[in-house]
Structure 1
Amino acid sequence: MDPYRLQNILNEELKAMAIQDYCPNGLQVEGRADVQRIVTGVTASQALIDAAIEQQADAILVHHGYFWKGESPVITRMKGKRIATLLAHQINLLAYHLPLDIHPQLGNNAQLAQRLGVSIRRLLEPWDKWSVAVVGELTQPLSGEQLALSIERTLDRPPLYIEGHSRPVRKVGICTGGGQSYLALAAEQGLDAFISGEISEQTTHIAREMGINYYAAGHHATERYGVQALGQWLQENYQLDIQFIDIDNPV
């Protein structure tokens, strides 16, 4: 498959051109003209690139790519090495950030919610059709500790759990990755808990003082599932050879 055709397919499915983002979505580095074997991963790190070379991949598809808003535009040192490696081996790099977070079926939020038994009901920001954070309900109420254990079993790592109350948890907000800034809004809307990847110093105080449980489950860990679902969708619909490679990250 031509990499530009692959880009068009992904852009259409993820509505990528309609979403304002902090980076370019789609084909970021052009490689060989025929794509049959694709390695997927969370971040286009050097380790993932090296693994893709070992697998003789034609393309890499990730959630976290390159050319972020506000970063230095020069291609030197770490970024220079990454891009030089891709070009030397003619590997295409495709990346989808917010479009892969918010897709209602394949997205990071949707995939994590499904694994945790959370039925998504609405957007946390109903005035924004591209709201990144979502609101859902657990199939059955859990204690704060029980939800922490459920997250640990699902992600194979314990979350950092900040207890904001002792009542049962039913209404849950989710924003995978770095979504801790949504916590106050979630509390204002009466949610029992909020799950994201990272935590900031003020997050603890917001959770305790506004009475909402917070779970920092890891930026990488919460965003492993969207790109896997997208890869599976490509494999099923376009008969491409897809392999997910998880480069472990404790954050």
Structure 2
Amino acid sequence: MMKSLRGRFLSKYKSLPTMASLKQTFLPPLNLPTLHESFDNNNNIVLSEVTKDVFQEEFQELGSRKTKPLCEETQETQKEDEESPMFPEFEEKCPPGGKESVVLYTTSLRGINKTFEDCKRIRFLLDSFKVVYQERDVSMHLEYREELWNILGGGRVIPPRLFIKGRLIGGADEVVGLHERGALKTLLKGIPLVPSVSPCKGCLGMRFVLCLKCHGSCKISVEDKMDDVPVRCPDCNENGLIKCPLCN
């Protein structure tokens, strides 16, 4: 009776799967190099020359792969952000002194309400970004009007017109459309910020003051002339104004 039980136990034990068979059944074959081991006098495992050559080839392959440092990738990303790809889309029309700045031609006359409101919209956007820009009022200075007409081909041009870094951006509709798409902020990158939010103490933001020589009359008297007829003041414009010496 005991012998029969022992025989049954041995037969069942031999039928159990081994760990090697389980690994072969459930694990996929790995194409790993065979490690040839040997032992030195101190019973330390020593890899054979074949295995060492395999590892040396792997290390050489990893070393040959050139990867860009993180700092270089960051610098390239920043450079792409600074150099806006949209600038080539705008026509190169550079006003005097506007190569690296923002120039806005406006008018302060309310004769045409739409023109006045369009100028106000662009001025509001530039003020919201707190960037330094040159506002050239064509109604306050005839030279600005002729300057704008010459830049755009000599024809009659109605403001507003915005120029950024020597490129014609356009009027109110174009500028507002760029702002709604988030592109205007990109175009203004690199423009200096306004150091102070308070208006100029000399002109209170008007950018013009009365002529100090003729006091706005555009006429001066010349003492050397016997007839004492007033002559045209050489310092002021047609409105008896001069550019503010503080903010211009």
Structures share fold, TM-score greater than 0.5: no
* Larger radius of gyration between Structure 1 and Structure 2: 2
Determine which structure has the larger strand proportion and give its number.
Answer: 1
Q: With structure 2 as the length reference, what TM-score do the two structures score?
A: 0.23
Q: With structure 1 as the length reference, what TM-score do the two structures score?
A: 0.23
Select the structure with the greater relative contact order (CA < 8 A; seq sep ≥ 6): 1
